[in-house]
């Protein structure tokens, strides 16, 4: 049982949670993720650790509601419980002194890229952040990003905030205007692919964080496999960071579409009566908490 | 030599005339569409009838060939005396999880292959009897928890919650140690819950066995990936564990490394079975985990072991139009339990022998549509004495297929090995452990089960767990005695 000690909306459909998970808070490194299972009937989904407080024993995550599990999760409030949280999983991002680094991110990807950007800055890199979103109300962590970046560009597709345009257009200008040693791109697959297409011909080292569908997150199932340099790699243990130039993004997109129909069914079921689903989750998790207390009491 | 008094009223020549009892099963036509248990188990009268067949050998071959030497003869005699609880306790002296082994032991290679009756007719149905007493005990709620030794104050961490760990936990708690089991997944039981399906081993039975251990004082912590969440060194140095037993199984799926394995619909057996069993995708959408649809489609499972049988029979239950086993050798070489192969055949699984996939083919959306295979023949015996299959040139053929499940074995998950300095591994990446004590190269750290042997059996894993418990107990006693060097130093002084 993992308690939510803080929950606040960050943007439209994006919520930030602070969760009590002392073991994970102590061990996590930037770029790593957790897997959560909300309740007994829930699926397991991966979420990036956006921040952590080892003293308080908490981790922070940001969730964008796109399907059943993330929608249900975003209905949770402070004081609610999540049945299972496991991590930190995946390899931490490689943090070195590269020189000038550009961090490109889109919507919730900004929350995922933020801890790495912060560490890159701490390691003595010059950090240029390019943050994008469809519109103003989808932007997250702008202030946090500005605080750890030497230069920050904010763009929206519709021009409702910052510059109007695409992150890749801005990236192109940055690459033309100065020598860049490392690009990190985190966000929707088409965005990461566009960045890779831009930087690969220039030979600039580019890292992408791949969001394949996962189950266990420990290398046991192979469901998260991605095609990198024409061979299968497991995103949960070999990644999630990979060299963008070697990633086959088409295969990643295909595989992320694998459960489209079932996902739609799940969403419809949730939307038919969201209150009931939430009630069920709360009741089930309360039952689990009771059972755990009983076992602990019997050991005293 | 006279035999000890027996509860069997029949003379031997009568006993050997008795036919082996057939265990009641769900009808194949019905069970092929549900996930309820196939094998229904003996009622008491049938258990008695089957027990009457045992001729009480002086040198029971059954005991010799059971990897943990369950005293089968004594168990059978207790059944005949009507003392089922006594029979269950007798089994438990050597086997902590009888309700499980009674369902999944490959008896044709173990106890039953040693039964003298098998030489002329059919062996005694030992696993069915073992299951009978264990189920009786559970269903009547009569488990008498054995009295544990006084607390030693020593703390042992067990990594993984598969049969090796569960058996080890049972023995260590009995010896008075504190036992803490760490499991990476959200459910306890290892392959017993994520691999073996409900229709062969109901999850409630595994849960019950775990509850018994919990009531006896074993602490279980799920959602801890040792090597990631916490390392072995941290457990020993910061959390006060005096010894560690690593039993993390052979978790890594092997793919075939042929083109097209990334198409949607190609699964490792691990993923397919995890989705179906652990995540209960067969009850979608009540349970939220999706599964690539098998309903009314052609499903091919590549492999010939228990994993392959479990996958193919699951696919059938999910409504597959056809469910086939594609195996690269012949039926004789298939490592699966004989009973599972029979069950699969009765349920309508199709078997295609001496074939191997060479490529998976898909459409423009990336969905699997067919698989290209090549026929094989058995060549000359290799070093291991097994005749290995050789592809027949020009024999390629393409079959339609929407879901392909690869059950071509597993290898060692490197997670612990790579995060534990000083832990020696074998050439193939398994943990190196001494045969007699299961001690690893790292002091206080022991390892057993599939992570040492490679994929084996439930009872062998349990045997390893017990062996480790004994060795750990000795090791912990040693911690309290003055170290030999120190002792010597005192003498010299
Ligand atoms: C390593 C990793 C880190 C992640 N970190 C975060 C994070 O910090 N915050 C966050 O909001 N999300 C994150 N994600 C994505 C998140 O896991 C998915 O959004 C989630 O699994 C969707 O579940 P659902 O049931 O809500 O939606 P579903 O109903 O499963 O999916 C809805 C739609 O999203 C697509 N989709 C499915 N799975 C994924 C996926 N894994 N990634 C992208 N699209 C997917 C599907 O094609 C479908 O169209 C991360 C993914 C990975 C692999
Ligand atoms: C589908 C299938 C069917 C089978 N059928 C049979 C059968 O009918 N009869 C039979 O005798 N045998 C059968 N086997 C084999 C048998 O199940 C295994 O030999 C046995 O389970 C091995 O036990 P174990 O305790 O070594 O490991 P496992 O049962 O594999 O358990 C290992 C546990 O460790 C956990 N773990 C792994 N890494 C970590 C980590 N880093 N930190 C924490 N936890 C970790 C895993 O999640 C898992 O729960 C079958 C196997 C499979 C896959
Ligand atoms: S543990 Fe397995 S091999 Fe041993 S007697 Fe029981 S069923 Fe037979
Ligand atoms: S070998 Fe067969 S007949 Fe002999 S004691 Fe064992 S079960 Fe009985
Ligand atoms: S999620 Fe199962 S291997 Fe990566």
Tokens matching residue B279: 């995540």
> Which pLDDT score is estimated for B493?
38
Q: Which is nearest to B251 in space by CA: B10, B449, B7?
A: B449
Instruction: Give the integer Cα–Cα distance in Å for B51 and B55.
Output: 9
User: How far is C-alpha A93 from the chain's CA centre?
Assistant: 13
Residue nearest atom 5 in ligand 1 by C-alpha distance: A47
Across the interface, whether the CB atoms of A269 and B413 are under 8 A apart is answered no
pLDDT above 70 covers a percentage of chain B that reads: 96
Across the interface, whether the CB atoms of A255 and B262 are under 8 A apart is answered yes
pLDDT above 70 covers a percentage of chain A that reads: 98
DSSP character string of A95-152: ----SEEEEEEETTHHHHHHHHHHHHHHTT-EEEEEEEESSGGG---HHHHHHH-SEE
| CB within 8 Å of B256: residues ≥ 6 apart | B302, B357, B406, B408
* The pLDDT of residue A217 is above 80: yes
Confidence at B444, pLDDT banded by 50, 70, 90: very high
> Per-residue pLDDT tens for A112-153?
899 999 999 999 999 999 999 999 898 888 899 999 999 999
Hey, is the C-beta of A197 within 8 angstroms of any chain B C-beta?
no
pLDDT above 90 covers a percentage of chain B that reads: 83
Probe site for chain A from B225, B250, B253, B288 (most A CB atoms < 10 A) = B288
Terminal CA-to-CA distance of chain B, rounded, Å? 60
Atom of ligand 1 nearest to the CA of A111: 8
Instruction: Name the one residue in this structure whose structure tokens are 């140690």.
Output: B177
Choose the CATH number for A100-256 among 3.30.420.40, 3.30.70.360, 3.40.50.80, 1.10.260.40: 3.40.50.80
State residue A221 phi and psi, 5-degree precision: -105, -30
- Nearest ligand (C-alpha, residue A271): 1
Question: In chain A, helix, strand, coil percent, each to 5?
Answer: 35, 30, 35
Pairing relation of β-strands A81-82 and A2-11? antiparallel
> Which pLDDT score is estimated for B145?
59
> Per-residue pLDDT tens for A22-48?
999 999 999 999 999 999 999 999 999
Here the ipTM equals 0.94
Over residues B456-478, the mean pLDDT reads: 94
Over residues A51-74, the mean pLDDT reads: 95
Instruction: Give the integer Cα–Cα distance in Å for B179 and B244.
Output: 10
Q: Closest residue of A to B184, CA-based?
A: A86
| CB within 8 Å of B226: residues ≥ 6 apart | B159, B182, B184, B232, B235, B248, B415, B416
| CB within 8 Å of A225: residues ≥ 6 apart | A212, A232, A233, A234, A235, A255, B262
Give Cα separations from A300 to A292, A296, B208 (angstroms).
13, 7, 22
Across the interface, whether the CB atoms of B223 and A85 are under 8 A apart is answered yes
Hey, is the C-beta of A37 within 8 angstroms of any chain B C-beta?
yes
pTM attached to this predicted model? 0.92
| CB within 8 Å of B483: residues ≥ 6 apart | none
Give the A window 242-261 contacts with B, CB below 8 Å.
250-251, 254-255, 257-259, 261
For ligand 1, is residue A271 a contact (CB within 6 Å)? no
Q: How far is B135 from chain A (nearest CA, A)?
A: 24
Question: Do the Cβ atoms of A160 and A139 come closer than 8 Å?
Answer: no
Across the interface, whether the CB atoms of B217 and A41 are under 8 A apart is answered no
> Per-residue pLDDT tens for B152-181?
999 999 999 999 999 999 999 989 999 999
Cis peptide before A19 (omega within 30 of 0): no
Q: Which is nearest to B469 in space by CA: B247, B248, B245?
A: B245
Pairing relation of β-strands B368-381 and B387-391? antiparallel
* The pLDDT of residue A300 is above 60: no
> Running DSSP on this structure, what letter comes out for residue B118?
G
Over residues B357-371, the mean pLDDT reads: 96
> Per-residue pLDDT tens for A80-112?
999 999 999 999 999 999 999 999 998 889 988
Residue nearest atom 13 in ligand 2 by C-alpha distance: B457
> Per-residue pLDDT tens for B30-45?
999 999 999 999 999 9
Ligand 4 site residues, Cβ closer than 6 angstroms: B 54-57, 60-62, 72-73, 115-117, 124, 126
> Which pLDDT score is estimated for B484?
59
- Nearest ligand (C-alpha, residue B76): 4
> Which pLDDT score is estimated for A162?
86
For ligand 5, is residue A234 a contact (CB within 6 Å)? yes
Hey, is the C-beta of B270 within 8 angstroms of any chain A C-beta?
yes
B415 contacts in chain A (CB < 8 Å): 218-219, 237
Confidence at B481, pLDDT banded by 50, 70, 90: confident
Confidence at B146, pLDDT banded by 50, 70, 90: low
Tally the residues of chain A: 300
Cβ neighbourhood burial of B334 (10 Å; 0-12, 13-18, 19+):
buried
Domain boundaries, chain A: 100-256
Atom of ligand 1 nearest to the CA of A256: 47
Q: Which is nearest to B170 in space by CA: B185, B181, B159?
A: B181
């Amino acid at each position: 049982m993992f308690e939510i000690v803080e929950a606040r909306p960050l943007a439209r459909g994006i919520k930030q949670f602070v969760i009590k998970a002392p073991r994970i808070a102590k061990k996590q490194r930037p770029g790593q993720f957790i897997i959560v299972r909300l309740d007994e009937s829930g699926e397991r989904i991966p979420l990036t650790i956006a921040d952590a407080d080892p003293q308080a024993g908490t981790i922070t995550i940001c969730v964008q509601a796109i399907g059943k599990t993330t929608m249900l999760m975003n209905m949770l409030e402070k004081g609610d419980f999540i049945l299972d949280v496991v991590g930190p999983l995946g390899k931490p991002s490689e943090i070195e002194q590269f020189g000038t680094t550009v961090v490109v991110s889109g919507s919730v990807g900004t929350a995922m890229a933020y801890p790495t950007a912060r560490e890159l800055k701490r390691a003595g890199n010059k950090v240029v952040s390019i943050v994008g979103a469809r519109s103003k109300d989808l932007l997250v962590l702008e202030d946090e990003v500005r605080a750890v970046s030497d230069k920050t560009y904010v763009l929206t597709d519709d021009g409702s905030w910052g510059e109007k345009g695409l992150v890749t257009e801005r990236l192109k200008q940055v690459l033309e205007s100065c020598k860049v040693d490392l690009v990190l791109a985190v966000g929707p697959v088409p965005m990461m692919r566009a960045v890779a297409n831009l930087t690969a011909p220039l030979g600039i080292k580019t890292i992408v964080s791949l969001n394949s569908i996962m189950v266990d997150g420990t290398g046991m199932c192979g469901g998260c496999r991605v095609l990198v340099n024409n061979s299968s790699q497991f995103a949960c243990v070999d990644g999630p960071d990979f060299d963008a130039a070697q990633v086959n993004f088409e295969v990643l997109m295909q595989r992320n579409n694998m459960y489209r129909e079932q996902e739609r069914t799940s969403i419809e079921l949730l939307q038919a009566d969201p209150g009931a689903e939430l009630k069920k989750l709360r009741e089930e998790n309360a039952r689990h908490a009771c059972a755990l207390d009983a076992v602990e009491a019997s050991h005293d | 030599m006279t035999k000890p008094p027996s509860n069997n009223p029949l003379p031997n020549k009568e006993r050997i005339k008795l036919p082996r009892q057939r265990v009641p099963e769900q009808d194949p036509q019905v069970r092929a569409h549900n996930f309820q248990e196939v094998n229904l188990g003996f009622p008491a009268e049938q258990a008695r009838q089957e027990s009457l067949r045992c001729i009480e050998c002086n040198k029971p071959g059954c005991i010799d060939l059971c990897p943990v030497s369950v005293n089968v003869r004594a168990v059978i005699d207790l059944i005949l005396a009507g003392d089922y609880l006594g029979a269950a306790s007798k089994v438990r002296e050597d086997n902590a999880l009888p309700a499980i082994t009674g369902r999944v032991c490959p008896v044709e290679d173990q106890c039953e292959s040693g039964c003298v009756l098998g030489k002329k007719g059919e062996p005694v149905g030992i696993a069915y009897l073992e299951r009978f007493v264990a189920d009786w005990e559970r269903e009547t709620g009569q488990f008498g928890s054995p009295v544990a030794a006084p607390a030693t104050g020593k703390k042992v961490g067990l990594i993984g919650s598969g049969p090796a760990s569960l058996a080890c936990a049972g023995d260590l708690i009995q010896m008075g140690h504190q036992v803490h089991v760490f499991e990476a997944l959200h459910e306890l039981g290892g392959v017993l819950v994520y691999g073996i399906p409900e229709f062969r081993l109901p999850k409630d039975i595994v849960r019950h066995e775990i509850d018994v251990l919990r009531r006896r004082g074993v602490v279980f912590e799920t959602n801890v990936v040792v090597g990631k969440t916490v390392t072995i060194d941290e457990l020993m140095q910061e959390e006060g564990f005096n010894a560690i037993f690593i039993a993390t199984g052979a978790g890594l799926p092997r793919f075939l490394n042929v083109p097209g394995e990334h198409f949607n619909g190609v699964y490792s057996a691990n993923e397919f079975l995890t989705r179906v069993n652990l995540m209960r995708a067969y009850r979608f959408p009540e349970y939220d985990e999706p599964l690539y649809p098998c309903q009314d489609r052609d499903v091919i499972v590549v492999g010939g072991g228990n994993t392959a049988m479990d996958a193919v029979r699951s696919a059938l239950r999910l409504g597959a139009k056809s469910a086939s086993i594609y195996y690269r050798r012949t039926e004789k070489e298939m490592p699966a339990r004989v009973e599972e192969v029979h069950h699969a055949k009765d349920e309508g699984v199709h078997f295609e022998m001496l074939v191997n996939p060479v490529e998976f083919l898909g459409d423009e959306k990336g969905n699997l549509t067919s698989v290209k295979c090549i026929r094989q023949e058995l060549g000359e015996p290799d070093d291991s004495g097994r005749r290995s299959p050789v592809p027949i040139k020009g024999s390629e053929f393409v079959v339609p297929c929407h879901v392909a499940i690869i059950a071509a074995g597993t290898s060692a998950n490197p997670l612990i090995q790579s995060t534990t300095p000083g832990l020696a591994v074998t050439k193939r990446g398994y943990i190196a452990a001494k045969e007699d004590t299961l001690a690893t190269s790292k002091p206080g750290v022991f390892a057993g089960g599939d992570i040492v042997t490679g994929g084996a059996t439930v009872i062998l894993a349990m045997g390893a767990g017990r062996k480790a418990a004994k060795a750990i107990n000795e090791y912990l006693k040693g911690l309290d005695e003055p170290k030999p060097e120190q002792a010597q130093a005192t003498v010299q002084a």
